[in-house]
């Protein structure tokens, strides 16, 4: 936890304008200079894999990502009554989408598992429920900005903290949360499972949005 | 950035993130989120919960050739097609809504429903309905209750009811318990996106004037 505090303080001490100009510089540059700064022991889970897929079409990285996420995505697609054969096909399409959209992933705003979840969820709505999924308008700065490595690390730490908080919930409540995301719970039932520990991750994302909006003014 | 005072509820944001809401609700939520950073951050937070649930869930084994098949699919499909530019749409029509109407709010094909009020029904899946409402400045919408949940997002102009004032980007979340008389602000005609999951079966049994405000 000490590491988390240290990085948060570093971030807080940096005035927004200087960070903003950094962001603009990265945008204009090669966009690769921050990747090499990753410490081996603080490497965010799977972010490096996605980068290797994006930059080098690295099939080894993809195979590892596949081994971890495909069985989870298949499980997600089968819940709520999905057929195993269709779930298998849809999972392969989800994984192919991750390859094709690797350049759209922004690790300063989401973890890889969050990104995989959103792609799988959209596949479930599109293919299994046969509906369009209206998505929020893309932000004007787009995903091409190479994010600050410190932002990526903090997002990873917030994600881990959220994971711990969820796994520490009383079992009944944790089951409800899983059912809300995996089953077909109505939104009135979902009302019972809100009040999740979202404080830090929410303010983290809000901060990233504010800072980027400021940078683009 | 406009000052948005009326936001989505946690239930709606979680339902949107989980992907369990009807298309009409997703449309209203995505349109509001396009205009509201606070709710965008909340949606991304609930997406993070989804990611965590996925990370911690039980797994189901893939077939032996699944990876090879997927790589073959990737090579066959080639790179993703670039997303079409949306720069042609009007400034006050957020991208998710632009997929449901053609052009600007000024080109909507309105149908009169009485007292100068007009509506245009948008095509979505059947569990809930979505429509644009055009309320002339200063016009009161007849006193009405709600069946089910109704979301009303202001796109242009403003309206107020007994308790609150709703300007562009504001979304009103009304449930069966709410009963009110919205009035369009005198300053300008008001255009809203209204969605409801109220049942459609009573159509035609209600007074002609009140009907459009109760359900389509």
Q: Which residues of A touch B8 (CB under 8 A)?
A: none
pLDDT, tens digit (0-9, with 9 covering 90-100), for A35-68: 344 344 455 689 999 999 999 999 999 999 999 9
**What band does A184 get if pLDDT is binned at 50, 70 and 90?**
low
Model pLDDT, residue A115 = 96
**What band does A17 get if pLDDT is binned at 50, 70 and 90?**
very low
Residue A153 structural domain: 2-24+44-131+142-215
- The C-alpha of A39 sits at a distance from chain B's nearest C-alpha, in angstroms, of 23
Model pLDDT, residue B215 = 42
Q: Which residues pair with B191 in a beta bridge?
A: B134, B156
pLDDT in tens, chain B (216 residues): 468 999 999 889 988 999 888 999 999 999 999 999 899 999 999 999 999 999 999 999 999 999 999 999 999 987 666 655 555 567 778 999 998 998 789 889 999 887 888 999 999 998 899 999 999 999 887 656 667 788 999 999 999 887 899 999 999 998 777 777 788 888 889 999 999 987 533 333 344 444 444 443
> Which of B59, B49, B69 shows the shortest CA–CA distance to A121?
B49
Distance of CA B147 to the CA centre of its chain: 17
Q: Answer yes or no: is pLDDT of A168 > 50.
A: yes
- Looking at chain A, the whole-number percentage of residues with pLDDT higher than 70 is 67
Residue B142 structural domain: 1-81+94-216
CB-CB neighbours of B73 under 10 Å: 16
Whether B59 and A205 lie within 8 Å, measured CB to CB: no
Whether A91 and B50 lie within 8 Å, measured CB to CB: no
Model pLDDT, residue A8 = 37
Whether B52 and A124 lie within 8 Å, measured CB to CB: no
Model pLDDT, residue B50 = 93
Query: Is B103 a domain residue?
Result: yes
Q: Which residues of A touch B14 (CB under 8 A)?
A: 180, 187, 190, 193-194
CA dist B24 to B21, B120, B160, B166, Å? 8, 14, 23, 20
- The C-alpha of B104 sits at a distance from chain A's nearest C-alpha, in angstroms, of 16
Q: Which distant-in-sequence residues (6+ apart) come within 8 Å of A162 by Cβ?
A: A197, A198, A201, B48, B49, B52
Which of B56, B60, B73 has its CB closest to that of A163? B56
Region of residue B117 (phi > 0: left; psi between -120 and 50: alpha; otherwise: beta):
beta
Query: Is B135 a domain residue?
Result: yes
Between A34 and B76, the more confident residue is: B76
Whether B53 and A117 lie within 8 Å, measured CB to CB: yes
Whether A180 and B71 lie within 8 Å, measured CB to CB: no
3-state class percentages of chain B: helix first, strand second, coil last, to nearest 5: 30, 20, 50
Is the distance from CB of A74 to CB of A88 less than 8 angstroms?
yes
Q: Which residues of B touch A54 (CB under 8 A)?
A: none
Which of A110, A112, A124 has its CB closest to that of B44? A110
> Which of A17, A78, A62, A144 shows the shortest CA–CA distance to B57?
A78
Whether B96 and A191 lie within 8 Å, measured CB to CB: no
- What is the C-alpha to C-alpha distance for residues B22 and B19, in angstroms, rounded to an integer? 9
Model pLDDT, residue B117 = 87
Residue of A nearest to B97 (CA): A134
What SS3 class is residue B185?
coil
Model pLDDT, residue B208 = 41
Burial class (CB in 10 A: 0-12, 13-18, 19+), A132: middle
Query: Is B157 a domain residue?
Result: yes
Whether B10 and A62 lie within 8 Å, measured CB to CB: no
Query: Is A177 a domain residue?
Result: yes
Whether B125 and A131 lie within 8 Å, measured CB to CB: yes
Residue of A nearest to B70 (CA): A92
Is the distance from CB of B138 to CB of B186 less than 8 angstroms?
yes
Mean pLDDT highest for which of A3-7, A169-173, B139-143, B177-181? A169-173
Q: Look at A82-86, A208-212, B51-55, B186-190 and tell me which has the smallest mean pLDDT.
A: A208-212
Between A34 and A46, the more confident residue is: A46
Q: Which residues of A touch B71 (CB under 8 A)?
A: 59, 62
- What is the C-alpha to C-alpha distance for residues A213 and B1, in angstroms, rounded to an integer? 10
Query: Is A101 a domain residue?
Result: yes
- What is the C-alpha to C-alpha distance for residues B163 and B181, in angstroms, rounded to an integer? 10
Mean pLDDT highest for which of A19-28, A126-135, B31-40, B87-96? B31-40
Specify the CATH number for the domain of residue A120.
1.10.1740.10
Q: Which residues of A touch B15 (CB under 8 A)?
A: 187, 190
Model pLDDT, residue A134 = 92
Q: Which residues of B touch A120 (CB under 8 A)?
A: 54
Specify the CATH number for the domain of residue B180.
2.60.120.10
Query: Is B89 a domain residue?
Result: no
Model pLDDT, residue B111 = 92
Model pLDDT, residue A19 = 35
Q: How many domains does chain B have?
A: 1
Query: Is B86 a domain residue?
Result: no
Q: Integer distance in angstroms from the first to the last C-alpha of chain A?
A: 35
What SS3 class is residue B115?
coil
Distance of CA B83 to the CA centre of its chain: 22
Model pLDDT, residue B75 = 93
- What is the C-alpha to C-alpha distance for residues B174 and B73, in angstroms, rounded to an integer? 46
Q: Which residues of A touch B31 (CB under 8 A)?
A: 134
Q: How many domains does chain A have?
A: 1
């Amino acid at each position: 936890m000490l590491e988390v505090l240290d990085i948060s303080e570093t971030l807080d001490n940096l005035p927004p304008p200087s960070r903003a100009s950094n962001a603009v510089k990265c945008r204009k540059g090669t966009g690769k200079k921050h990747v090499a700064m990753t410490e081996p022991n603080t490497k965010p889970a799977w972010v490096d894999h996605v980068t290797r897929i994006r930059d080098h079409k690295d099939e080894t990285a993809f195979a590892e990502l596949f081994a971890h996420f495909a069985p989870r995505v298949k499980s997600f697609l089968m819940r709520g009554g999905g057929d195993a054969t269709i779930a298998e096909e849809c999972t392969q399409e989800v994984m192919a989408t991750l390859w094709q959209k690797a350049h759209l992933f922004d690790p300063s705003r989401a973890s890889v598992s969050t990104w995989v979840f959103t792609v799988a969820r959209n596949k479930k709505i599109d293919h299994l429920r046969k509906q369009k999924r209206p998505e929020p308008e893309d932000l004007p700065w787009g995903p091409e900005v190479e994010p600050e490595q410190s932002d990526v690390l903090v997002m990873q730490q917030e994600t881990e903290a959220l994971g711990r908080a969820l796994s520490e919930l009383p079992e009944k409540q944790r089951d409800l949360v899983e059912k809300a995301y995996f089953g077909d719970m109505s939104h009135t039932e979902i009302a019972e499972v809100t009040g999740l520990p979202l404080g830090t991750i929410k303010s983290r994302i809000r901060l990233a949005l504010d800072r980027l909006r400021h940078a683009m003014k | 950035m406009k000052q948005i005072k009326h936001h989505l509820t946690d239930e709606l944001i979680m339902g949107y993130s989980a992907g369990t809401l009807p298309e009409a609700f997703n449309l209203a939520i995505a349109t509001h989120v396009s205009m509201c950073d606070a709710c965008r951050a909340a949606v991304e937070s609930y997406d993070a919960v989804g990611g965590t649930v996925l990370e911690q869930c039980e797994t189901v084994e893939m077939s032996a050739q699944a990876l090879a098949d997927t790589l073959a699919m990737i090579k066959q499909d080639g790179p993703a097609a670039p997303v079409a530019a949306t720069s042609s749409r009007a400034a006050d029509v957020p991208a998710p809504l632009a997929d449901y109407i053609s052009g600007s709010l000024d080109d909507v094909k309105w149908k009169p429903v009485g007292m100068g009020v007009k509506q245009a029904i948008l095509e979505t899946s059947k569990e809930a309905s979505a429509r644009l409402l055009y309320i002339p400045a200063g016009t009161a919408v007849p006193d009405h209750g709600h069946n089910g949940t109704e979301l009303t997002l202001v796109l242009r102009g403003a309206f107020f009811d007994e308790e609150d004032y709703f300007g562009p980007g504001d979304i009103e979340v009304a449930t069966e318990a709410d009963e009110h008389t919205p009035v369009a602000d005198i300053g300008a005609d008001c255009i809203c996106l209204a969605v409801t999951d109220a049942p459609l079966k009573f159509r035609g049994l209600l007074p002609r004037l009140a009907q459009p405000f109760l359900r389509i």
